[in-house]
């Protein structure tokens, strides 16, 4: 699969909020808001209807009923690193929404494939027939 083209995300569509993160970090974890919560208004992105539909599907529970995608990054110990991670995850999500799925072309099995399948069925039936109890004649 090829790398998708980066989609420009307008700054007015993004709202950042820094929150305290749980987990390791000692006393600092309670005092410093290092985790970032990124809220993106999907309608301000200017997506095509198909890309919007795929984005809604990919986002899943991260998308609110108001049309906002909420991404929370808290793995790093600095605000900047968490901000970069959240923006990278958002960009990757939007880029994946722009990838078109290849249409599946229905095919039929050829005559040789049909013959092979019927031959296998006949052989399997013969094996099962041989397993049965002999009939009294």
C-alpha 8/C-alpha 15 separation (Å) is 16
Does this model's pTM top 0.85? My answer is: no
Is 37 in a helix, a strand, or coil?
strand
Three-class secondary structure of residue 17 per DSSP: strand
How many whole angstroms separate alpha carbon 98 and alpha carbon 45? 12
Mind listing the pLDDT tens digit for each residue in 92-116?
888 888 888 888 899 999 999 999 9
The answer to whether position 66 is within a domain reads yes
The tally of CA atoms less than 13 A away on the side-chain side of residue 99 is: 16
What torsion do the CA atoms of 81, 86, 89, 93 make, to the nearest 10 degrees? -160
In a domain, 119, yes or no: no
pLDDT tens-place string over residues 38-54: 888 888 888 888 888 88
pLDDT band per the 50, 70, 90 thresholds, residue 16: confident
The answer as to whether 88 is a domain residue is yes
> Could you tell me the pLDDT band of residue 1, with boundaries at 50, 70 and 90?
very low
Q: Which residues contact 52 (CB under 8 A, 6 or more apart)?
A: 42, 97
Residue 5 lies in a domain: no
* Per-residue DSSP letter, 27: T
- Take residue 18 and report the two structure tokens written for it: 């820094």
Structural domain range at position 43: 11-97
pLDDT of residue 24: 63
CATH number at residue 53: 3.30.160.20
In eight-state DSSP terms, residue 103 is P
């Amino acid at each position: 699969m090829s790398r998708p083209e980066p989609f420009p995300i307008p700054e007015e569509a993004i709202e950042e909020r820094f929150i305290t993160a749980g987990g390791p970090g000692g006393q600092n974890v309670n005092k410093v808001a290092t985790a970032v919560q990124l809220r993106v208004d999907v309608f301000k992105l200017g997506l095509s209807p198909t890309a919007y539909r795929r984005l809604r599907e990919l986002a899943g529970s991260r998308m609110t009923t108001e049309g906002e995608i909420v991404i929370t990054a808290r793995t790093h110990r600095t605000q900047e690193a968490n901000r970069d991670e959240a923006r990278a995850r958002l960009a990757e999500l939007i880029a994946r929404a722009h990838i078109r799925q290849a249409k599946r072309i229905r095919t039929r099995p050829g005559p040789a494939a049909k013959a092979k399948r019927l031959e296998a069925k006949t052989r399997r039936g013969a094996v099962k027939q041989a397993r049965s109890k002999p009939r009294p004649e």
